[in-house]
Structures are given as structure tokens and as C-alpha cells.
């Protein structure tokens, strides 16, 4: 099932869960989003939104693709899984 990531949701929805993915330095954002889609589907979500990371310092200021691709740190990414009303 293809669960989309939606940066902005303009229709009514309920949050049914939070997904957290712990990333390694070799993972790319596309890999993280793919894992989030899988978890959102398992929860029965229609979409996921509100992507956040706990990266700190310089890693937080870098675009996510660069941070995960070459960083020597681990970071958690979280998102909200939603169902539409």
C-alpha cells in the first residue's frame, strides 16, 4: 500500500500514532521515508506528516539528504500517522 508523506494536510484528520525511525549514517532520506510508509501502513494510516529529527548542532542545519548520507552520527526521525475523517 502506498501511504503518502504530506507536508501540509488541508482536510480533517485524526492522528492514530507516531512512527520513529533510527537512522544510520549510510541511509538516505528516501530509505527513511520508505520505512515510515511501511510502518504507517501497518498502523492503518492514510498518510504520514510532521516529519521531525532529533539531530543536533551542524547536522540539524544540513539538508537531511546530506546529513544521513555522510554523517557519523545516528538520528531519530519521527512522523505522525493520520487517518482522514
What pLDDT digit, counting tens, does each position of 60-75 carry? 555 555 544 545 567 7
Cα–Cα dist 36/27, whole Å: 13
Size of the chain in residues: 85
One-character DSSP codes across 14-80: EEEEEEEEEEPTT--HHHHHHHHHHHHHHHT-SEEEEEEE---HHHHHS-HHHHHHH-SS-EEEEEE
Q: What is the mean pLDDT of residues 78-82?
A: 96
Q: Bigger pLDDT: 66 or 14?
A: 14
What does residue 64 show for φ and ψ, rounded to 5 degrees?
A: -55, -40
pTM: 0.74
pLDDT of 1 above 70: no
Give pLDDT tens digits for 28-59.
788 889 999 999 999 999 999 999 887 655 55
Amino acid at each position: 500500500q502506498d501511504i503518502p508523506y504530506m507536508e501540509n494536510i488541508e482536510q480533517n484528520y485524526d492522528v492514530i500514532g507516531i512512527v520513529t525511525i533510527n537512522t544510520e549514517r549510510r541511509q538516505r532520506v528516501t530509505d527513511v521515508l520508505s520505512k515510515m510508509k511501511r510502518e504507517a501502513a501497518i498502523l492503518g494510516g492514510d498518510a504520514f506528516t510532521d516529519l521531525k529529527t532529533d539531530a543536533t548542532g551542524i547536522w540539524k542545519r544540513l539538508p537531511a539528504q546530506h546529513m544521513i548520507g555522510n554523517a557519523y552520527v545516528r538520528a531519530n526521525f519521527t512522523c505522525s500517522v493520520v487517518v482522514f475523517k
